[in-house]
Amino acid sequence: MSEKLAILGGPKTITEVFPLYNSYGKEEVEAGKAVIESGLLSKFIGAWHDDFYGGLKVRKFEEAWRTYFHVKHAVSLNSATSGLIAAVGSLMVEPGDEIIVSPWTMSASATSILVWNAIPVFADIERETFNLDPVSVEKNITSRTKAIMVPDIFGHAADLDAILEIARKHNLKVIEDAAQAPGAFYKDKYAGTVADIGIFSLNYHKHIHTGEGGICVTNDDTLAERMRLIRNHAEAVVAGKGVANVANLIGFNFRLGEIESAMGIEQLKKLGALVKQKINAGSRLTSGLSGLRGLTSPIVKSGCTHVYYVYPLKLECETIGIPRMRIAAALRAEGVPGLMEGYANVHLLPMYQQKIAYGSKGFPWAFGDCNSLVSYEKGICPVAENLHDNTMMGLLLCMHDFNNEQVDLVIEAFHKVWNQFDGIREL
């Protein structure tokens, strides 16, 4: 018989505090120091000039990213959110156009659509990978649809071939949000490089980071240059550069600095090893948790790799006979760190429920007849909603290093809880 559950007064399985994940070392310290000592922390100029594209470190970082991911263009920005905004703007969207997006994503994916007065349309997700369901995507296409934004959620690529086939059939562009999947493979390509535009995040809790930052990649010359213009005060640049089509060339200051770029160069060198460590942790968890009744570990589809930004699990609560919140409470009491219940239902945020973004009169939904065409009612994404509300539970693998010993302690805690369900039912 296992020791008494911690939630019932027994000893905790995990008594240590796992150190926070830290991908930095002396290389980044020296790189950042060198930039500070140079006195040149940024070299961007918001006008058509030799320095419109930024300083030496920015350009070297973009070159390194292009080389690593085998793409023609890499555009650095101060965040992946900025990258999403620049990517949507580069597609020449018109007010009232629709872009299909997942409800299971960081809110910025959908908000970046609203920035350009376009309308987010939420399609449902797959039960297995939690990525956009191509069948639901096609059902949501209308005459207004302009593009599909597909996140590679938790570190596993979406069904990109199916989504691209749908997009080509309907003459749509595809933006791949690979913020959580750097270094993951989709067949013979890196996730983030398959669609028309890909976006990577360099936010501090990702596999590699520069504190804040993002990278857009594309093989399309026009899209790349439009994103660079949006990044750096486009409206002040177009005349000098000789740009004739100024639609959506409202400029922002989305520029990445020299310090972040210098550190990013060093971080990129470590990506392969850091991803390998997360894959090892995820695979070890899957092996150790196999056989636990009513618990489904993440799948890895053929030809894909999973880099486990999150290690997602599904609970069959009816089979177990215990609600998720009780199981999660028992696991937390055993000391399991980084445990999450559910993830996101972006379509249920107040902004979408009230259809209020710009001003107080419902713009951009009030543009034309959009308001009568797009619904955000609960029930439009039943798979995502049920997973969030009832059955999905995950481990934030990017929160800690999760070495083998730590993974084994987490596995031990799960087994302890599963072996004493009767005690949890009595809570």
pLDDT tens across 97-138, in order? 999 999 999 999 999 999 999 999 999 999 999 999 999 999
Instruction: Of 184, 19, 177, 160, give the one whose Cα is nearest residue 111.
Output: 177
Residue 190 lies in a domain: yes
In a domain, 415, yes or no: no
**Count of H helices and E strands in the chain?**
15, 13
Domain membership of residue 154 as a residue range:
26-267
Would residue 281 count as lying in a domain? no
Any idea what the CATH number is for the domain that residue 169 is in? Answer: 3.40.640.10
Beta strands, E only, 350-396: 392-395
> Which pLDDT score, from 0 to 100, does residue 1 have?
46
In this structure, is residue 323 part of a structural domain?
no
Per-residue three-class SS string for 205-216: CCCCCCCCCEEE
- Strand segments (E) across 152-192: 173-177, 185-186, 189-190
Nearest to 107 by CA among 364, 349, 386: 349
Of 106, 151, 107, 127, nearest in space to 391 by CA: 127
| DSSP β-ladder status, 392-395 and 339-341 | antiparallel
**Spans of the chain, pLDDT less than 50:** 1
Number of domains in the chain: 1
| pLDDT digits 0-9 by tens, 225-272 | 999 999 999 999 999 999 999 999 998 999 999 999 999 999 999 999
354 phi and psi, to 5 degrees? -95, -10
Task: Give the pLDDT of residue 372.
Answer: 65
- Would you say residue 297 lies in a domain? no
Closest by alpha carbon to 365, among 179, 131, 113? 113
For residue 95, is it within any domain? Answer: yes
Tell me the whole-structure pTM to 2 decimals: 0.96
Closest by CA position to 128, among listed 156, 161, 160, 101: 156
- Other beta carbons less than 10 A from residue 266's beta carbon: 22
Residue 179 lies in a domain: yes
- On whether residue 253 sits in a domain, the answer given is yes
